[in-house]
Amino acid sequence: MLEMRRATDRGIANLGWLYSQHTFSFGHYFDPQQVGYSDLLVINDDIVQPGQGFATHPHRDMEIFSYVLQGALEHKDSMGTGSVIRPGDVQMMSAGTGITHSEFNPSPEELVHFLQIWITPKIKGIKPRYQQAAFPDTEKRGRLRLIISPEGEQGSLEVCQNVKVYAGLFDGAETASLKLSADRFAYLHVARGAAMINGMRFVEGDGARVRKESSIDIQQGKNAEILVFDLRANELPAR
């Protein structure tokens, strides 16, 4: 069963320098029916204006990753990490016992469009860490490439939770199928473009909770970029 979450139903924050669409409750947007799913707490679809960004702020006991769709995102944190991520890069930050960080659009002209995703950790109070890796389009074209996993399989980034995240690019005749265990849930998010997934039409920003499905089948993509989360069979995140 796929329970659709349409892009047009998401919460919106428009701060001028930031336009953000929230799949789940976040900040001033609260919907009691949308407070996360399994261990997935936040999917924010953020567009930041040139030369703007998030000032230094704290996090604790959260697995946070950023996935850039357009432009560049500059990251600085209290661990001494400084980096710029671009499309194809994935950044993972384990906040653990506590960190501060900032995220900034360093371009004077170009927008940065990225997804910020929060996953609740299975263990609190771990040592904070930062990870970054590049997953080029060639590795995601016409397939679901593992980008995040508990053990860092296949060059993926490690997450402190029983979660796997896949990313894929699909256009035209390209297809992919991901098998799901009977005791697992999943979540889909179409970052851009459009595709048929398990017989349902998805467009940019759409998502879906997935339960009691043996696989996720992607077809008829139109410049589609898709994230798939393989999750524990829990309805809500533990806080």
Domain that residue 227 falls in: 2-232
Place 60 in a pLDDT band, splitting at 50, 70 and 90. very high
Has residue 35 been placed in a domain?
yes
CA 44, CA 19: separation in Å to the nearest integer? 10
49-78: average pLDDT? 94
Q: Quick one: what percent of the chain has pLDDT higher than 90?
A: 94
For 149-154, which contacts have Cβ atoms below 8 Å and span 24 or more sequence positions? none
Above 90 in pLDDT, residue 203? yes
Domain assignment of residue 53, yes or no? yes
Specify if 72 maps to a domain.
Answer: yes
pLDDT-based confidence at residue 77 (cuts at 50, 70, 90): confident
- Quick one: pLDDT at residue 238? 80
What number is the average pLDDT over the span 167-178?
97
Average pLDDT, the chain: 96
Give the confidence band of 128 by pLDDT, cuts at 50, 70, 90.
Answer: very high
Give the CATH number, domain containing residue 196.
2.60.120.10
What residue has token string 């953020």? 46
Structural domain count of the chain: 1
pLDDT at residue 82 in the model: 87
- Kindly tell me if the per-residue pLDDT of 181 is higher than 80: yes
Would residue 239 count as lying in a domain? no
Residue 238 lies in a domain: no
119-133 core/surface letters (b: 16 or more CB in 10 A; e: else): bbbbeeeeebebbbb
Say yes or no to pLDDT of 239 above 80: no
Asked whether residue 237 is assigned to any structural domain, the reply reads: no
**Residue 164 pLDDT > 80:** yes
- 132 belongs to a structural domain: yes
Average pLDDT over residues 220-231: 98
* Overall average pLDDT of the 96-110 stretch: 94
pLDDT, average across residues 209-220: 97
Contact 152, 158 (CB under 8 A): yes
The confidence band for 228, taking pLDDT boundaries of 50, 70 and 90, is very high
Confidence of residue 117 (pLDDT cuts 50, 70, 90): very high
Q: Is the pLDDT at 105 greater than 90, yes or no?
A: yes
3-state class (DSSP) for residue 65: strand
CA distance 207 to 226: 10
Distances (CA, A) of 64 to 61, 94, 197: 10, 6, 26
Residue 178 counted as domain residue: yes
In this predicted structure, what is the pLDDT of residue 93?
A: 94
- Mean pLDDT for the stretch of residues 6-18: 97
Residue 56 has pLDDT above 80, yes or no: yes
pLDDT-above-70 percentage for the chain: 100
